[in-house]
Structure 1
Amino acid sequence: MAARKKKSAACDVVVVGSYNQDMVWQAARLPAPGETRMGRFSSGPGGKGFNQAVAAARQGARTAFIAARGNDALGERAADTARAEGIDARWQQVAGEATGTAAIWLDAAGQNSIVVAPGANSLLAPAHVLAQRETIASARVLLTQHEVHPVASLRALQLAGELGLLRIHNPAPQQDGAAYRALLAECELLTPNESEFAALVRAHGAEVEASAIASLADEDLHTLCRLLPVPSVVLTLGAAGAFVSHADPTRFHDVAAAYRVPGQSAHVVDTTGAGDCFNGALAASLACAVDLALATHVAQATRCAACSVESHGAAASMPTREQVGRRFPG
């Protein structure tokens, strides 16, 4: 990885992204169309951006979060939660728009279905992001996703590139269109899951079924990854771990241009936020130890994600560094 300018802080991550208040309904199985089932309800903080910020903070990174919220009770709760997590939240309050929410249906096996109402998230202004230049300049790593306006994410990535940060883009949830594809050209590390990866390579002229990706030969996966206009890809494969592909492995202190990192065994109770945990933990690990090989950072992120699925909730399930160390000693 290219040398980064020295920072006064040991490790810093800035997440530009979404906050959603999660409303979770849990039942033995998900209802079929037209069916009513009895279950349990809970609510807690979420949103891909906020989950990632909490994951990074709990892994020991000094973390800032740039986001939009409504001027409502859920927005106040978001601000209180960020403070409680030690996150430096830079909020844009959007008048007349609700704070984002997500409805999550969860079955006994821990699998989920989710509907998101983005609310204020979709109105995060590029001007608000650019106004946080000093905060972004103090960081080592920037992390963005697809749950806010793509131009806001684009401006954040461009500014971070100008300031010399490592830029990670998580292309989730899956979104199509030129505005989202433009984000790829501004990041150094892309972190899709299988369905997101299948959509991305389809947009670049190749066909692959998401369900078949984990079983592809490494050489074939690497070829598909190199279709994307990004220097490095970390493709998350759920319980199977992750696949890493580089145009130049030395950029991230790796030796191999392509390799797999195995997953960790876990007692799954809730998969909500597992991908966000992986991304936030990866950003924190990269920020805290810039000279280690990417393989080491990815392995740590897989351990964090495995811990997260053993607890209920989204942001609430993000593990601390100490919890991960106890769960996976050595």
Structure 2
Amino acid sequence: MEHGGAEAVIIGGMVLDIHATPSMPANPRTTTPGRVRYILGGVARNVAECMSKLGAKPYMISAVGLDMPGNLLFERWKSAGLSIEGILKDSDIETPVVCNVFDANGEVAAGVASVEAIEKYLTPDWILHFKSTIDTAPLLLVDANLNLPSLRASCKIAADSECPVWFEPVSVTKSKRITSIVKNVTYTSPNEDELIAMANALFGADVFHPLKANHNLSTVSLFNMLKPAIWVLLEKGIKVVVVTLGSEGVLLCCKGGPSHIRSPLKKTTRSGSSENLYKIIMQKCPPNWCFGVSEPDRSSRLFAVHFPSLPASVVRLTGAGDCLVGGTLASICAGLDIMQSVSIGIAVAKAAVEVEANVPSAISLAAIADNAKTVYSGAKVLFHQSML
């Protein structure tokens, strides 16, 4: 099964999200008035859709059933003009569905996930059908919903063709699957809790502890608490760790120095809308921004940059992380460096939290570029010192 152009490959779940929002405080053992909406979801699907809004044409490898949720997900994907070759459809598949009940702040108060089909049907055999597509891809994203054999198979194909891998942790529990593929992972994007879980799994002991909820730490204090866990991931071979901090922004970390964190992909896929993205961001956020870092790059050094978040009128928080990753990936694949790309990711995440859907139905490139400029100009080096 061939694919016409070299585009990023996204492997993971396509999920129908059911969002239930009570219009008053919910009471146990009875129904509560409110709104129930069907939202197209799934971490990998959200990332891929977000990329498509920025001009990329991601190649999705997933599985859905011939049921109502599956037909809805499949037809919407097809109508967007994106490739459907990698999406397995079968009557035996029960399409993944997640039902979330939200509180008044837009946070998930409770939820039920029925996503077993991702592990059961996204098998190594199905993924191997698309080896030639992965071979030519500029980047591969795998989400941690995949079972361990499928994660290993995906990363083995990518490693053989020197295709960088982005590992999206999905959840605290599933993030621990990093242990089986860490040597092949180039980028990863955990939140604070996923970072701690990944570091403990890779270290082989629970030596790092989750931060208290609603902590009022400064960015510097927060980084200092997370720094040992970040270093574990880098020491195990991950090249770039993108730690998402919600309203506190993003930490971008690597070994060495700026030259390591700025390196673009070997292959880029600029055309049409992604060419416009590249041009406008190169003007708004010129590369080679001077951090005032003059020390030589050494592998014993940890280099960390903090990117601020943007103020937003929050409607939903569920798609923010996925859109941050999607915006970052689309930008990297268009030829922008990782610092420009993370700035765009944060700008897209702002757009995501201001709508009901996981991914905005339309993204204004001009607004994204202006917001990315604000983020990019506000980025600061937090740390560039030896860890020895």
TM-score, normalised via structure 1 length: 0.87
- Give secondary structure in 1 for the equivalent of 2:347: helix
- Give secondary structure in 2 for the equivalent of 1:26: strand
Contact in 1 for aligned 2:327/2:348 (Cα 8 Å): yes
Aligned to 1:77: 72
Q: Determine whether 1:246 maps to 2:254.
A: yes
Q: Determine whether 1:222 maps to 2:219.
A: no
Which structure has the larger Rg over C-alpha atoms? 2
Q: Determine whether 1:59 maps to 2:54.
A: yes
In structure 2, which of residues 87, 90, 108 is the aligned counterpart of residue 91 of structure 1?
87
Q: Determine whether 1:309 maps to 2:353.
A: yes
Q: How many residues align?
A: 319
Aligned to 2:141: 143
For the residues of structure 2 that align with 1:23 and 1:81, how far apart are their CA atoms?
16
Aligned to 1:108: 104
Q: Note the alpha carbon deviations across 1:92-145, whole angstroms, 9 max, x for none.
A: 234423111010212332212432101421211111111111222232111111
Contact in 2 for aligned 1:102/1:114 (Cα 8 Å): yes
Structure 2 letter corresponding to 1:245: C
Q: Which range moved further: 300-309 or 213-222?
A: 213-222
Q: Return the structure number with greater relative CO, CA threshold 8 A, min gap 6.
A: 1
Q: Which range moved further: 89-98 or 126-135?
A: 89-98
| Cα shift at 1:326 | 7.2
Aligned to 1:130: 128
* Structure 2 unpaired stretches of 5+: 264-290, 294-302, 374-388
Contact in 1 for aligned 2:50/2:327 (Cα 8 Å): yes
- Give secondary structure in 1 for the equivalent of 2:173: coil
Contact in 2 for aligned 1:30/1:105 (Cα 8 Å): no
For the residues of structure 1 that align with 2:78 and 2:367, how far apart are their CA atoms?
23
CA gap of 1:152–1:111, structure 2 versus 1, over 3 A, is same
CA gap of 1:177–1:101, structure 2 versus 1, over 3 A, is closer
Structure 2 letter corresponding to 1:86: G
Contact in 2 for aligned 1:68/1:120 (Cα 8 Å): yes
| Cα shift at 1:35 | 5.2
Aligned to 1:3: none
For the residues of structure 1 that align with 2:195 and 2:111, how far apart are their CA atoms?
19
| Cα shift at 1:55 | 0.8
Aligned to 1:295: 339
Contact in 1 for aligned 2:9/2:61 (Cα 8 Å): yes
Contact in 1 for aligned 2:135/2:161 (Cα 8 Å): yes
Q: Determine whether 1:68 maps to 2:67.
A: no
Aligned to 1:328: 371
For the residues of structure 2 that align with 1:41 and 1:201, how far apart are their CA atoms?
37
- Give secondary structure in 1 for the equivalent of 2:232: coil
Aligned to 1:5: none
Q: Which range moved further: 296-305 or 252-261?
A: 252-261
Aligned to 1:237: 245
In structure 1, which of residues 265, 274, 278 is the aligned counterpart of residue 324 of structure 2?
278
Q: Determine whether 1:258 maps to 2:342.
A: no
For the residues of structure 2 that align with 1:99 and 1:279, how far apart are their CA atoms?
24
Structure 2 letter corresponding to 1:122: E
Contact in 1 for aligned 2:24/2:33 (Cα 8 Å): no
For the residues of structure 1 that align with 2:175 and 2:106, how far apart are their CA atoms?
31
For the residues of structure 2 that align with 1:274 and 1:178, how far apart are their CA atoms?
22
TM-score, normalised via structure 2 length: 0.75
For the residues of structure 2 that align with 1:259 and 1:174, how far apart are their CA atoms?
24
Q: Which range moved further: 27-36 or 152-161?
A: 27-36
Q: Which range moved further: 219-228 or 162-171?
A: 219-228
Aligned to 2:208: 207
| Cα shift at 1:81 | 1.0
CA gap of 1:214–1:58, structure 2 versus 1, over 3 A, is farther
Identity fraction in percent: 21
Contact in 1 for aligned 2:245/2:251 (Cα 8 Å): yes
* Structure 1 unpaired stretches of 5+: 1-7
Aligned to 2:314: 268
Contact in 1 for aligned 2:310/2:350 (Cα 8 Å): yes
In structure 2, which of residues 101, 109, 114 is the aligned counterpart of residue 117 of structure 1?
114
Structure 2 letter corresponding to 1:221: L
CA gap of 1:177–1:288, structure 2 versus 1, over 3 A, is closer
Q: Note the alpha carbon deviations across 1:63-100, whole angstroms, 9 max, x for none.
A: 11000111323222222111122322311234423111
Q: Which range moved further: 232-241 or 92-101?
A: 92-101
- Give secondary structure in 1 for the equivalent of 2:81: coil
| Cα shift at 1:284 | 0.9
| Cα shift at 1:232 | 1.7
Structure 2 letter corresponding to 1:79: F
CA gap of 1:105–1:178, structure 2 versus 1, over 3 A, is closer
